[in-house]
Homo-oligomer: A and B are copies of this chain.
Amino acid sequence: MAPKHTSTHLQTWLPILRWGRHYQRDWLAADLTAAAVVSLMLIPQSLAYALLAGLPPENGLYASMAPLVLYALTGSSNTLAVGPAAVTSLMTATAIGAVAGPGHPILQLQAAVWLALISGGMMLLMGALRMGFVAHFLSHPVISGFVSASGVLIALSQFKHLVGVSAQGDTLVSLLPQLWAQGHAIHGPTLAMGLGVLVFLVLARHKARAWLRDRGLPGFWADLGAKAAPVLALVGSVALSACLGLSERGVKVVGQVPTGLPTWTWPDWGTSTPQLISALWVPALLIGLVGFVESVSVGQSLAAKRRERIDPDAELRALGLSNLGAGLTGGFPVTGGFSRSVVNFDAGARTPAAGMFTALGLAAAALFLTPALYHLPQATLAATIMVAVLALVDVQAFGRTWRYSRTDFAALLLTFCVTLVWGVEAGLVSGVSASVLLLLHRSSRPHIATVGQVPGTEHYRNVKRHTVVVHPQVLGLRVDESLYFANARYLEDHIAQAVAGHPELKHVVLQCTAVNDIDASALESLETINQRLQETGVALHLSEVKGPVMDRLQRSDFLQHLSGNVFLTHHQAVQAVAGEGTAAPTRPHPD
């Protein structure tokens, strides 16, 4: 037994042991094809996201090698492609900017490495502690508002590269005045190059597939052709820039990119390192959470298409290791990106081996292609980023959420505005706080219906919605929510209010059909209610208590103190206690 258990345990941590031993020859062809396509796509993307994070372009390439290999060894998704992504790169830029100014490139690199290491370490720890649920703090409206605002911020941050002016900062408040003030400094050739690439990419995204199909290409190749547009833009603009000598005409180009593979390096540990770490741990945690949520959403939706599934805790561990790998090879925080994973899936990747082959493709690029990148205009990369993040801004989510729920809309709008005005960290923190506050507020006033008997039946319904029979001595209340600390006092108050001024009342029956849980706070409130009612000569009864709730109540002494009884059905309760007095039919009285 022991070896088998060990092997299963190892397989949980290293899924490659499971799929690796059954690897089939025809999977190899599929994985290699997918890797080739994803590599081509990743070269411009990783350069662009390094630019977005405020780092040298080669760091983008480095961040796309070790993490891919580590994820392939440990991840639970067959098709997720790991590397730098738009939103986490923006968050990286913000976090770096807070500890290292633009004149300190070495400190910036150190900060990027520490961000990846801390974020990776925390994800690994959370994965080991099975704390993936923490990501649930990020509700959909908060993520939606945050990602939309990030998309706007990213587009704005690239605007300066596109038009050739220089500006600092990543919030609306800090960017707009600078762009306004430097409007006259727009650089013509840069703008022409940027706008050209932008128009080409937008056209390619929306028209290329249909155009290629009309030219007789089969669906798969037409798709591939459309996806290759960023690579074409890259090759075309490098060629154009080199032939026309654009860098001499003042167009900013990527410049010298060191050739070679990343080396395994421990980060420097100096006297200021503890201070650096203490300044970076909150952004690192937020980057880890946002990256995890993005990655798991992508991974789950791809896995579901093949009726496979992924394990969120395994994903946390794999992403943690990937980020540690990124940090130790000179990269910056990475996550499972949406577009590249979809491309990997569509190109037919069968196993995580495709990720390893992609890493080889990027290694080849780092070894052989870097001299060619010298003439690449930054405006081309900016255009690539802007087109990619346009898809992030979900304008429809505002209207949809407004129509569906006002409180969710409030959380969405707050997150969007705070992110835009005060930046990514403030936006995320205020969004999460608002969701939790709104959740407590919403469940702090549960729906409590006064119920009466539908004449001639054993059914009990809301007196406000139905014509029902009620007894003057019996008050039947149905609580439509689990009872816990946030709403326990409301129940106390509601019952106090319902009883006040009704001296004829002798029995209160709580119908517990929708009560899935009673926590210790609610138990104390029930005890308080029971005692207060008893002091005024009213008995408290419960009806239709669920099995698990009843099991728990029996572990306390509440049932011994209960002045009334527990009934299987509400009808039995009312029949048992409403012996005296006459029942009066009521009419619905909505208010």
Judge whether B405 and A519 touch: CB under 8 Å: yes
Which B residues are CB-close (under 8 A) to A441?
A: 133
Give the complex CA separation of A301 and B412 in angstroms.
40
Size category of the binding interface on chain A: 35 or more
Give the complex CA separation of A523 and B535 in angstroms.
45
Which B residues are CB-close (under 8 A) to A301?
A: 528, 532
Judge whether B548 and A408 touch: CB under 8 Å: no
* A546 nearest CB neighbor, chain B only: B480
Judge whether A520 and B404 touch: CB under 8 Å: yes
Judge whether B140 and A496 touch: CB under 8 Å: no
Judge whether B532 and A305 touch: CB under 8 Å: yes
- In the complex, identify which listed stretch (A188-196, A306-314, A414-422) lies at the interface while the others stay far away: A306-314
One of B296, B405, B481, B536 near A482 (C-beta < 8 A)? B481
Q: Using A519-B405, A523-B404, A552-B405 as known contacts, say yes or no to A300 and B485 having CB atoms under 8 A apart.
A: no
Judge whether A404 and B555 touch: CB under 8 Å: yes
Which B residues are CB-close (under 8 A) to A506?
A: none
Q: Using A499-B307, A532-B301 as known contacts, say yes or no to A489 and B136 having CB atoms under 8 A apart.
A: yes
Which B residues are CB-close (under 8 A) to A405?
A: 519-520, 552
Q: Using A435-B485, A481-B482, A492-B300 as known contacts, say yes or no to A400 and B140 having CB atoms under 8 A apart.
A: no
* A503 nearest CB neighbor, chain B only: B307
Q: Using A523-B404, A528-B301, A555-B404 as known contacts, say yes or no to A485 and B307 having CB atoms under 8 A apart.
A: no
- Going nearest first, the 5 A-B pairs with the smallest beta carbon separation are A139-B485, A408-B520, A304-B532, A140-B521, A139-B521
28 A-B residue contacts at CB 8 Å? A133-B440, A136-B488, A137-B486, A139-B484, A139-B520, A305-B535, A305-B536, A307-B501, A308-B500, A309-B493, A309-B496, A312-B489, A401-B520, A403-B555, A404-B520, A404-B523, A404-B555, A405-B519, A407-B519, A408-B521, A412-B520, A436-B440, A439-B484, A439-B485, A442-B517, A443-B482, A480-B516, A480-B546
State the A residues within 8 Å of B (CB).
Answer: 133, 135-141, 296, 300-301, 303-305, 307-309, 312, 400-401, 403-405, 407-409, 412, 435-436, 439-447, 480-482, 484-490, 492-493, 496-497, 499-501, 503, 514, 516-517, 519-521, 523-525, 528, 532, 535-536, 546, 548, 552, 555-557
